[in-house]
Amino acid sequence: MVPYISDVLFNEPQGRPNSLIQFGASLSFLCIFVYFWSVGEAGAVVPWVLFFIVGTALSGIAESLPKNRRRAAGLLRLTAILVLICFLAIMVLAPEYIIG
């Protein structure tokens, strides 16, 4: 299983279609954050939305790199996965931080 994971993580970047989807997701999470911040309820939404903004943006950057930048794309993908795993760990260990 370990060689398969490294093959997936350090695969060539998929290119524009995947990166546009991930940047679009990041932009939609950013719009959610800005909306709640402008309404004045940023404390209720900030913790979980920021994790998603950073995770999807890192993944989008990884997919938009040139084909010969496999290692950099892999490191960005791994960082995005770690950000989202940290979100899950915080939800399990300290849910009051996420829920409010």
Tens-digit pLDDT profile for residues 39-72: 876 556 677 888 999 999 999 998 888 888 888 8
Average pLDDT, the chain: 83
Roughly what angle, to the nearest 10 degrees, separates helices 70-93 and 2-9?
110
Q: pTM of the full predicted structure?
A: 0.81
- Percent with pLDDT over 70 in the chain: 82
In this prediction, residue 14 carries a pLDDT of 74
Residue with more model confidence, 81 or 48? 81
Roughly what angle, to the nearest 10 degrees, separates helices 16-39 and 42-64?
160
Using 50, 70 and 90 to split pLDDT, how confident is the model at 24?
very high
Taking CA atoms, 92 is separated from 30, 46, 47, 97, 99, in Å, by 24, 18, 14, 10, 11
**pLDDT (tens digit per residue) in 1-14:** 556 777 666 777 77
